[in-house]
Structure 1
Amino acid sequence: MTRWSPELAGRRGPLYRVIADALGEDRAAGRLVPGARLPTHRELAERLGVTVGTVTRAYAEAEKRGLVRGEVGRGTYVRGDEDTSAHMPRPMALEDEAGDEAAPVELGINAPATPPGDPASHALRRALEALGRSPRLPGLLGYQPAAGARAHREAGAAWAARFGLEARPEQVVVCAGGQHAMEVALAALTRPGDTLVTEALTYPGIKVLARRFQLRLQGLAMDAGGLMPEALESACRAGPVRLLYTQPTGHNPTGGVQGEERRRALAEVARRHGVLVLEDDAYGLLPLARPAPLATFLPEATYFIAGVSKLLTPGLRIGYLVAPARARGERLAEEVGLASLMTTPLMAEVLTRWVEDGTADALVEGQRGETAERRALAREVLGEGVRWDGAALYHLWLPLPEGRRGEEFAAQALRHGVSVTPAELFAAGGGVGPAAVRVCIGTPRTRAQLERGLIRLRAVLDGSAVPRLAIV
Structure 2
Amino acid sequence: MDSLTHPSARWLARLPAAGPPMYVRVVEGLEAAIRDGELQGGDQLPPQRTVAQILGVDLTTVTRAYAAARARGLIEGAVGRGTFVRARAAEDEAGLVDLGMNLPPPPQGLSLGVLLKEAVAAVVDRTDVATLMSYHPGGGSLGQRTSAAAWLAPSLGQVAPTRMLVTPGAQTGLAAILATIAGATGGALVTEPLVYPGVLTAARQFGLAVRVCPSDAGGLDPDALARLCAAERPAALYLTPTTNNPTAVTLDLARRQALAKVARAGGLWIVEDDPYARLFDAPLPAIATLAPERTFHLATLSKCLSPGLRTAFLVPPEALAERTAEALRTLALMPSPIMSAVVSTWIREGAAERLLAGVRKEARLRRAIAAEILPAARGAPEGIHVWLDLPPEWRADRVHRVAQEKGLALVTADAFAAGPDHANGLRISLGGPGTQGVLRGALESVARLLSAAPAPKAVV
Counterpart AA for 1:300: E
Is 2:443 aligned against 1:460? no
Residue 390 of structure 2, aligned match among 385, 400, 403: 400
Residue 197 of structure 1, aligned match among 190, 209, 214: 190
Residue 300 of structure 1 is matched in structure 2 by 293
CA distance, structure 2, for counterparts of residue 100 and residue 334 of structure 1: 43
CA distance, structure 2, for counterparts of residue 298 and residue 392 of structure 1: 26
Residue 410 of structure 1 is matched in structure 2 by 400
Give the SS at the match of 1:142: coil
Q: 1:458 to 1:137 in 2, by over 3 A?
A: same
Equivalent residues in 2 for 1:277-288, closer than 5 Å: 277-288=270-281
Equivalent residues in 2 for 1:324-403, closer than 5 Å: 324=317, 326-327=318-319, 329-382=321-374, 384-388=375-379, 390=380, 392-401=382-391, 403=393
Counterpart AA for 1:370: E
Is 2:210 aligned against 1:225? no
Residue 128 of structure 1 is matched in structure 2 by 120
Counterpart AA for 1:111: L
Counterpart AA for 1:322: V
Residue 53 of structure 2 is matched in structure 1 by none
2:91–2:97 Cα contact (<8 Å) kept: no
Equivalent residues in 2 for 1:168-179, closer than 5 Å: 168-179=160-171
Residue 424 of structure 1, aligned match among 411, 414, 434: 414
Give the SS at the match of 1:190: helix
Q: CA deviation at 1:331?
A: 1.8
Is 2:429 aligned against 1:436? no
Structure 1 residues not aligned, in runs of 5+: 1-94, 466-472
2:269–2:295 Cα contact (<8 Å) kept: yes
CA distance, structure 2, for counterparts of residue 343 and residue 417 of structure 1: 37
Q: 1:351 to 1:464 in 2, by over 3 A?
A: same
Counterpart AA for 1:419: A
Residue 106 of structure 1, aligned match among 90, 94, 98: 98
CA distance, structure 1, for counterparts of residue 432 and residue 360 of structure 2: 15
Residue 439 of structure 2, aligned match among 429, 442, 450: 450
Q: 1:100 to 1:345 in 2, by over 3 A?
A: closer
Residue 149 of structure 2 is matched in structure 1 by 157
Percent of pairs with identical residues = 37
Q: 1:421 to 1:168 in 2, by over 3 A?
A: same
2:146–2:161 Cα contact (<8 Å) kept: yes
Q: 1:212 to 1:404 in 2, by over 3 A?
A: same
Q: 1:449 to 1:329 in 2, by over 3 A?
A: same
Q: 1:197 to 1:402 in 2, by over 3 A?
A: closer
Give per-residue Cα distances to partners, 1:249-308, cap 9 Å, x unaligned: 111111111111111111111111111111011000112243211111101110101221
CA distance, structure 1, for counterparts of residue 219 and residue 157 of structure 2: 21
Counterpart AA for 1:110: N
CA distance, structure 1, for counterparts of residue 100 and residue 91 of structure 2: 19
Q: 1:344 to 1:426 in 2, by over 3 A?
A: same
Q: 1:97 to 1:257 in 2, by over 3 A?
A: closer
Q: 1:425 to 1:136 in 2, by over 3 A?
A: same
Q: 1:451 to 1:215 in 2, by over 3 A?
A: same
1:131–1:137 Cα contact (<8 Å) kept: no
1:106–1:419 Cα contact (<8 Å) kept: yes
Q: How many residue pairs align between the two structures? A: 367
Residue 24 of structure 1 is matched in structure 2 by none
Q: By percentage of residues, which structure has more helix?
A: 2
1:256–1:391 Cα contact (<8 Å) kept: no
2:90–2:98 Cα contact (<8 Å) kept: no
Q: 1:334 to 1:364 in 2, by over 3 A?
A: same
CA distance, structure 2, for counterparts of residue 218 and residue 174 of structure 1: 29
Q: CA deviation at 1:424?
A: 1.4
Q: 1:269 to 1:101 in 2, by over 3 A?
A: closer
Q: 1:260 to 1:370 in 2, by over 3 A?
A: same
Residue 268 of structure 2 is matched in structure 1 by 275
- After TM superposition, the score normalised by the length of structure 2 is 0.75
Give the SS at the match of 2:224: helix
Q: CA deviation at 1:402?
A: 5.8
Residue 208 of structure 1, aligned match among 181, 197, 201: 201
CA distance, structure 1, for counterparts of residue 237 and residue 211 of structure 2: 10
Q: CA deviation at 1:164?
A: 3.0
216-225 or 400-409: bigger deviation:
400-409
Residue 119 of structure 1, aligned match among 99, 111, 114: 111
Q: 1:176 to 1:100 in 2, by over 3 A?
A: closer
Counterpart AA for 1:405: R
RMSD between superposed Cα atoms in Å: 2.3
Residue 240 of structure 2 is matched in structure 1 by 247
Q: 1:266 to 1:462 in 2, by over 3 A?
A: same
Counterpart AA for 1:396: V
Q: CA deviation at 1:110?
A: 0.5
Residue 142 of structure 1 is matched in structure 2 by 134
Residue 261 of structure 1 is matched in structure 2 by 254
Q: 1:350 to 1:219 in 2, by over 3 A?
A: same
Give the SS at the match of 1:329: helix
